[in-house]
């Protein structure tokens, strides 16, 4: 009799279990999904944190490398230098100045050359007690003597503003064999505030002047003027040649 009753209700129990099982699985799925979402959020926050730490470490290492480069700069033995941190870059695409954390208190004066290990960056334009403004070599008003390293020809370079290049419009005759990629350095002529042989850039293009008596050179600066963290000021403001 017991077996008969069990046989009668067994299909009903099986049907009820079959109906209830998807509901149970669904509920477990909902609660499990919430837990999974929370775990994913926690892991993502951890990933973001680690990425931030890695980015900071990379930035710190890059700045340390730049600082070491500045300390290794070789200039004339009788010219003292001071390493400065760049505290403000160009404010707009038309701005061609940076601010550094060294000023008159460290012997910095207007007109002094500012360099990196790569080459010439600019010159000191304004000075206060603890800060200075540096005009970049690409500024339209920037003008200085340069020399073609291979040919030893001397010309005058000028900045071209937001174009990011320099132009040499005088001094290089048509007889001078100039090619793209030729190196350009400071000339260091008598009375110059820039010492000679500081790397400036490389020739990007050449064309003749309108009267075809001289050549016009477009020069690409060798120093990366967009990513400056540290620079070096050459503490020489008169006859640095």
Phi-psi region of 86 (alpha: psi -120 to 50; beta: other; left: phi over 0): beta
The pLDDT tens digits of the residues spanning 174-203 come to 999 999 999 999 998 765 778 889 999 999
Predicted TM-score of the model (pTM): 0.68
Q: Which SS3 state, helix, strand or coil, does residue 42 take?
A: helix
The pLDDT tens digits of the residues spanning 134-165 come to 999 999 989 999 999 999 999 999 999 878 89
Q: Which fold has domain 78-241?
A: Thrombin, subunit H (2.40.10)
Please tell me the distance from the alpha carbon of residue 134 to that of residue 147, in angstroms, as a whole number. 23
DSSP structure string for 67-91: HHHHHT----TT--EEEEEEEE--S
Residue 29 confidence class, pLDDT cut points 50, 70, 90:
low
- The residues, any chain, with a CB within 8 Å of residue 54's CB and separated by 6 or more, are none
163: Cα within 13 Å, side-chain hemisphere: 13
């Amino acid at each position: 009799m017991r077996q008969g009753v069990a046989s009668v209700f067994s299909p009903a129990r099986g049907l009820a279990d079959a109906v209830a099982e998807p509901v149970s699985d669904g509920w477990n799925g909902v609660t499990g999904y919430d837990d999974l979402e929370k775990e994913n959020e926690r892991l993502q926050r951890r990933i973001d944190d680690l990425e931030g730490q890695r980015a900071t470490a990379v930035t710190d290492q890059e700045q340390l490398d730049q600082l070491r480069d500045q300390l290794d700069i070789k200039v004339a033995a009788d010219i003292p230098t001071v390493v400065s941190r760049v505290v403000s870059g160009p404010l707009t695409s038309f701005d061609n100045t940076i601010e550094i954390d060294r000023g008159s208190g460290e012997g910095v004066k207007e007109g002094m050359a500012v360099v990196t290990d790569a080459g010439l960056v600019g010159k000191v334009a304004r000075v206060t007690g603890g800060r200075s403004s540096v005009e970049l070599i690409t500024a339209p008003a920037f003008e200085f003597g340069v020399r073609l390293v291979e040919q030893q020809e001397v010309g005058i370079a000028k900045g071209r503003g937001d174009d990011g290049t320099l132009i040499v419009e005088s001094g290089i005759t048509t007889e001078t064999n100039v090619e793209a990629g030729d190196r350009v350095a400071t000339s260091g002529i008598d009375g110059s505030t820039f010492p000679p042989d500081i790397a400036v850039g490389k020739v990007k293009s050449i064309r003749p002047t309108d009267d075809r008596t001289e050549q016009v050179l477009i020069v690409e600066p060798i120093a990366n003027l967009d990513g400056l963290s540290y620079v070096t000021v050459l503490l020489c403001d008169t006859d640095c040649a």
